[in-house]
Amino acid sequence: MRILVTAGPTREHIDPVRFISNRSTGKMGFAVAAEAAAAGHDAILVAGPVSLPTPSGVRRIDIVSALDMLAAVRGELDGADILVMAAAVADWRPAAVSALKLKKSAMAPSIPLVPNPDILREVAPLKGGRVFVGFAAETGAPDAEARRKLADKGLDLICANDVTAPGAGFGTDTNLVTVFGRGGFRLELPLMPKRDVAREIVRLAVEAREARDGR
Ligand code: PMT
């Protein structure tokens, strides 16, 4: 199968040297791509600005902003069977990007922002028989919010991680994830290495895709 994965943060530039971003390091998404390739799938990784090496057997597309990520996902979705959105996409970007470094004296104390497109919602009309997997970065009990995002974004599976739990979320080598699916499916995984979480996610997504094909 062909598995398209997004990872890392997006960077929303204010000028050539300043940007808005978040704490994602790409570890979770890179682990998903690595496990997909290790399981013999064709893995494509759309990566925000991170400092991780490309996992063996993975084709990598580097992007910077949410708009770049949307274009890359749109461009690769056609041949994909599964999309896993592990990236932490910035919800907002500066309304204007200066081509030159802004002088401190010319900067206003606030930056006008405009909303970024929601990538999962943008590509929902192209879903067809594909399996879409999202992540939900939550603070506190994830169930209600994860189920809301599952339905709201038209997903097959959503992996909720409590990003305030020790050893979970941004930058850690482990994660604490509960996977939610359609029809009340709920699988609570213990705290474990992101590679092991990733292996479970790839397994569940492939199973869902095979079930759709009637295999
Ligand atoms: O990269 P690491 O340091 O390993 O950290 C991993 C992680 C915490 C970033 C990862 O496990 C994670 O939770 N990723 C999703 C974070 C997030 O943006 O959650 P959200 O609840 O804001 O978004 C829900 C889903 O919608 C996500 O699949 C997200 O990729 C997607 N989304 C969000 C915003 C947007 N504009 N477009 C989207 O498609």
Ligand 1, atom 33: nearest CA belongs to which residue? 89
Instruction: Write out pLDDT tens, residues 57-108.
Output: 999 999 999 999 999 999 999 999 999 999 999 999 999 999 999 998 888 8
Please say if the pLDDT value at position 141 is more than 80.
Answer: no
Task: Identify the pLDDT of residue 32.
Answer: 98
Please say if the pLDDT value at position 215 is more than 80.
Answer: no
CA pair distance 97, 105, nearest whole angstrom: 17
Centroid of ligand 1 to alpha carbon of 24 (angstroms): 9
User: Ligand 1 within 6 A of 69 CB?
Assistant: no
CATH number of residue 28's parent domain: 3.40.50.10300
Centroid of ligand 1 to alpha carbon of 45 (angstroms): 15
Instruction: Write out pLDDT tens, residues 24-35.
Output: 999 999 999 999
3-state secondary structure the chain: CEEEEEECECCEEEECCEEECCCCCCHHHHHHHHHHHHCCCEEEEEECCCCCCCCCCEEEEECCCHHHHHHHHHHHHCCCCEEEECCECCCEEECCCCCCCCCHHHCCCCCCEEECCCHHHHHHHHCCCCEEEEEEEECCCCHHHHHHHHHHCCCCEEEEEECCCCCCCCCCCEECEEEEEHHHCEEECCCEEHHHHHHHHHHHHHHHHHHHHCC
Q: How many domains does the chain have?
A: 1
| Averaged pLDDT score across all residues of the chain | 95
Task: Identify the pLDDT of residue 213.
Answer: 80
Domain membership of residue 117 as a residue range: 2-213
The percentage of the chain sitting over the pLDDT mark of 70, rounded to a whole number, equals: 100
Task: Identify the pLDDT of residue 212.
Answer: 85
Are 13 and 160 in contact by the 8 Å Cβ rule? The answer is no
Instruction: Write out pLDDT tens, residues 111-132.
Output: 999 999 999 999 999 999 999 9
Task: Identify the pLDDT of residue 139.
Answer: 86
Task: Identify the pLDDT of residue 162.
Answer: 87
pTM of the model: 0.97
Centroid of ligand 1 to alpha carbon of 107 (angstroms): 30
